Amino acid sequence: MKSTNSKDSSHGQPSIVRRRIVALAGGVGGAKLAHGLAQILAPEDLTVIVNTGDDFEHLGMYICPDLDTVCYTLAGLANPETGWGRVNETWNTIANIEKLGGPNWFRLGDQDIATHLERTRRMKEGQSLSQITRDFCAAWGIKHTILPMTDSPVRTMVDTDEGELAFQEYFVHRHCEPRVKGFRFDGVNIAEPAPGAREAIESADAIVFCPSNPWVSVDPILRVISLTPTPLPWGEGRKVVAVSPIIGGKTVKGPAAKMYSELGIEPSALAVAEHYRNILAGFVLDSVDSEMENSIKQLGIRTLVTDTLMNNLTDRTRLAQDVLNFIRS
């Protein structure tokens, strides 16, 4: 508990207690909840730490898919249909690259390419990813803090029945078709958390795992920041709370459920809770999965059952408020 009588409400009403929140996020699912949290929390009370294991170099550019999705979403620049890329996008550059025989499997819009080109130029000058992200956020009018998990290169590698594949090769080029056998995060053992990440975690009242892919979005962040187990019981110390990305045994988008199945685990909200069981104090599952609540409680984890599907900004803000109320409870 940091201070009292501050703004902590979507309606600008003073509330009794202020909370400092760190949200861990991948791309699409992570950005949605981070966006909801940003509607409620004051800028100094929310830090979003974003996975960079999906980053890669393509067409000579340094591309950070999850970081860009979170930034575009918080800036109101994201494409609401795809969940990635920019709204009102044009595709002239990639169409012309294709005409010249270049690779077109990773769809990059013209406005998006500007982000990657400018980021690459700055990185070549020696600027760090977190410094560049800070400048881009300021240019896009984002007031909350968005940090890459690290400034060092960490690369998610997917072990499949067709051998080890770099993440975007598996995810975009191969449409997640190869069967997954495991994951490796190249560079994770020497990667330091980005400047400010450790301090944000240490001063946070709660860490929220957004409904992101546990295997390839949240796990790489956890490996870098080395989150220590939360002291139980609930109410003592910092709370670590996860929101399930699996609803009714399925993902809303992406390969998380397929990954669970191929790794021999039935995909479910319970499987996600078990995935994080050593560090979790609380877990938010969807109303359609309410029959799993008792099994999750038996893991020693507090639960909140609510609607977790975020189809629009109202849903995002409502779920964020539910999560904050749960943390406060």
The two structure tokens encoding residue 140: 């896009």
Count CB atoms within 10 A of the CB of residue 174. Answer: 15
Residue nearest to ligand GDP (CB): 29
- Minimum distance from CB of 243 to ligand GDP (Å)? 6
On whether the CB atoms of residues 11 and 288 are closer than 8 A, the answer is no
Q: How many residues bind ligand GDP (CB under 6 A)?
A: 24
What x/- string results for residues 287 through 326 when contact with ligand GDP is judged by CB under 6 A?
---------------------xxx----------------
Nearer to ligand GDP (CB atom), residue 145 or residue 306: 306
φ and ψ at 229, to 5 degrees? -55, 145
- Minimum distance from CB of 16 to ligand GDP (Å)? 28
DSSP state of 44: G
Q: Strands 155-160 and 46-50: what pairing?
A: unpaired
SS3 (DSSP) at 81: coil
Nearer to ligand GDP (CB atom), residue 18 or residue 219: 219
Nearer to ligand GDP (CB atom), residue 85 or residue 245: 245
Residue 192 to residue 189: CA distance in whole angstroms: 8
| Residue found by looking up tokens 């100094």 in the block | 44
Q: Strands 61-63 and 163-166: what pairing?
A: unpaired
- Minimum distance from CB of 307 to ligand GDP (Å)? 9
Closest C-alpha to 44, from 195, 137, 145: 145
Nearer to ligand GDP (CB atom), residue 26 or residue 109: 26
The two structure tokens encoding residue 254: 């992406």
Given the rule CB under 6 A, which of 26-34, 130-138, 266-274, 293-301 is the region that contacts ligand GDP? Answer: 26-34
What x/- string results for residues 115 through 144 when contact with ligand GDP is judged by CB under 6 A?
------------------------------
What x/- string results for residues 55 through 84 when contact with ligand GDP is judged by CB under 6 A?
-----------x------------------
Binding ligand GDP by CB under 6 A: which of 21, 22, 28, 259? 28
Given the rule CB under 6 A, which of 28-36, 72-80, 103-111, 296-304 is the region that contacts ligand GDP? Answer: 28-36
Residue 23 to residue 242: CA distance in whole angstroms: 10
Distance of CA 7 to the CA centre of its chain: 25
**Triad 199, 214, 105: Cα angle to 5°:** 105
- Minimum distance from CB of 209 to ligand GDP (Å)? 10
201-260 residues near ligand GDP, rule: CB under 6 A? 211-213, 217, 243-245, 247, 251-254, 256
Q: Strands 163-166 and 155-160: what pairing?
A: antiparallel
Nearer to ligand GDP (CB atom), residue 123 or residue 288: 288
Nearer to ligand GDP (CB atom), residue 59 or residue 288: 288
The two structure tokens encoding residue 3: 């201070």
Nearer to ligand GDP (CB atom), residue 194 or residue 319: 319
The two structure tokens encoding residue 306: 């609510």
On whether the CB atoms of residues 36 and 316 are closer than 8 A, the answer is yes
Give the interface with ligand GDP as residue ranges (CB under 6 A): 25-30, 32, 66, 211-213, 217, 243-245, 247, 251-254, 256, 308-310
